[in-house]
Chain A
Amino acid sequence: MSAADRLQTTIAGLDRSRVALYAVLLALVAFYLAPLESGFMTAFKTPDGFRTTTPFALPPLGEFTLSAWGTAFDRLSNGLLNSALMAVPATVLSALFGSLAAYGLTNLSWRGQIGVLVLFVAGVFIPYQAVLVPLTQFWSFVDLGGRIPLALVADNEGLINLSITHVAYGIPICTVLFRSYYATIDDEMLEAARLDGASAATIYRRIILPLSVPIFAVTLIYQFTQIWNDLLFAIVLVSNPSNQVVTVALNQLQGSFVQQFNLQMAGAFVAALPTLVVYVLFGEQFAKGVAGDS
């Protein structure tokens, strides 16, 4: 049998419904990727280019340019840096607090912990609008920059406030993520450790923490994405333009270059780049975080 014959039998053997299935799946890929692909192509076009071509088409010769990317990066670089300075510590701290709380509320059982737990879980869903006004009041009372005579603090007051705020509001979801993982840890193992003479702190340090690596990965990735992507807290809590985070900067870029879609699209990709990189590298963990089966 020749190779061509074999190919033909294979094709004939392919179930029609399988073909239809893959066709639909590919159509869905197009649906989910179209806005990104169109944006990506537009970002490489000159204004003439994106006005005269279909959004998803490759930039025509002569209408290709990288200038939008350059401008977008210049405009957003300070925001990127600020976002990183704010998001990384906030992510690490909220994950750590979440892990500690989940351990205290899951593996060390005591009466009434369910009540505390409910408050944590409910905290996940609080609409931030419900705390915005008191929050601005609170941070203006605290006035970190005024109280701590350090240039470092005064210059970055907005970022520090924002970071602490994100830690506090990130704790509930981190606790819940860790709790669902810690609930699968064998109780007998922790009891064995107690009988072995380990204190609660020792058990956390020597047993729980080393076993938490996968859930730390899930939580850090999810939490980083959330904090990086937030806009609401940032516009409310950060007033100093030099402290502006990237989402705010991107929103302003969008507002000030209304018809320059290439610049807007390039800006969107620049701002999304860290989360996109994280997603591409750790998509599995992200999906696990969403689905709840780490």
Chain B
Amino acid sequence: MASRIFAALTRDEGSSDTDESPRREEPSVRTDGGTVTDGASDATTAAVGDDASALGRLRRSRFLESLPFWGPPALLVFFFVYGAIAWNFVISLTGWEGLGSPDYSSLSTEMYARLLSDPSFTAAFRNTLVLLLAFTVLSLILGLLVAILVDQKIRIENTFRTIYLLPMSLSFVVTAIFWSWMYNPTNGLINEALRGVGLDAFTQAWLADPQFKLAAIIFALMWQFSGYCMVVYLAGLRAIPESQYEAARIDGASTIKLYWRVIIPQLRASTMSAAVVLVVFALKAFDFLFVLFGVNPGQSADILSVMMYRVAFDRIQWAYGSAVAMVLFAMTLGVIGPYLYVQYRRGEL
């Protein structure tokens, strides 16, 4: 999972169990005599560890030694990821449409200007933000609650965890099909259940009514990804030493106070990493909407990733699609950039 990075990056000091891990208890090997502060991270030490000026030879040889290992994968990544993004940017500056090839000779920001005056872009942009925010917050809350419940030393914990995480292993295509059936106005489980408890008045054509479309999508996505939040939070909870619960109880804190004031504040790192991953999933939620609505979810549920596909591959307005893609990329960067920077500064990269 993308999250694993974060779990790894944010893994705070005490979080690993006490197995044989001499490296943890013994950072002095590298830093001996070198670093003055405790805060000096492995990364920093490693960065300065290979010495500076005079011994370039040795350093170069270390560089050369490692190159065969990371070089080829890096080449693939740089070409396919960063090369492609740069190329995409250039395409977004052309006016390329239809069959044929892009004309790279005249570049302009016309496509971006067009974005600003396109009402469907405004709608998609707004929906993307709503989806992002609501989906992330709701999934985090549900995930946290489930994690706290699972953390109560319950029996067959593994079985519960496995069931809660199960939706995460399914393809968007599969879950979209399940949920289109769940939301079916006449036979779907949601409406059946509402009728079953006498709430006939609340039955809706969930996926057809513009009023409920986006909410229905968010709910389904939350179903799929809250299990993931649960797992991240559970790891965070397990990292908090038992003694803190005991100390708080001795201090007379009620369970709710204990969690609210002692435990949850310590889960900030878990929250941050889970949130970043959820945002990225939300930005990528294309598959789910595409299966439910095809390329036209309608203004009330259109999001940028669907719009990009529609514009580029359905209407074959390549340059315009690339411009939408750049906006999507910028949004991702807006979330990931600060996060990576913080991680880097904390030496947790």
Contacts and interface: CB of A to CB of B under 8 A. Distances in A.
Contacts of B305: 127, 129
Interface stretch (B132-140, B174-182, B210-218): B174-182
A254 B179 CA distance: 12
Contact of B73 (A98, A118, A222, A236): A98
Given A267-B177, A287-B161, A127 B284 contact: yes
A223 to B, nearest CB: 10
Contacts of A231: 171-173, 286-287, 290-291
Interface string A12-46: 00000000011011001101111110110010000
Nearest to B313: A236
A116 B154 CA distance: 43
Given A39-B181, A110-B63, A130-B325, A293 B235 contact: yes
B84 A135 contact: yes
A165 B62 CA distance: 31
Contact of B177 (A24, A133, A228, A250): A250
B319 to A, nearest CB: 8
Nearest to B17: A293
Contacts of B109: none
Which bracket fits the contact residues of A?
35 or more
B295 to A, nearest CB: 11
Interface stretch (A1-9, A60-68, A150-158, A184-192): A184-192
B185 to A, nearest CB: 12
A108 B165 contact: no
A232 B286 contact: yes
Contact of A116 (B4, B74, B160, B161): B74
B169 A36 contact: no
B200 to A, nearest CB: 15
A290 B76 contact: no
Interface string A142-182: 00000000000000000000000101110111011101100
A289 B73 contact: no
Interface stretch (B46-54, B243-251, B259-267): B46-54
A81 interface: no
Chain B interface main SS type: helix
B202 interface: no
B283 A179 contact: no
Contact of A271 (B30, B150, B174, B284): B174
Contact of A264 (B7, B146, B177): B177
B46 A28 contact: no
Nearest to A31: B223
A59 interface: no
A229 interface: yes
Contacts of A241: none
Given A97-B73, A111-B50, A292-B11, A36 B329 contact: no
B6 A292 contact: yes
B231 A272 contact: no
B164 interface: yes
B348 to A, nearest CB: 10
Nearest to B279: A125
Closest 3 CB pairs of A and B: A292-B7, A104-B69, A180-B8
Interface in B2-61: 2-9, 11, 15-16, 21-23, 29-30, 42-43, 46-47, 49-50, 59
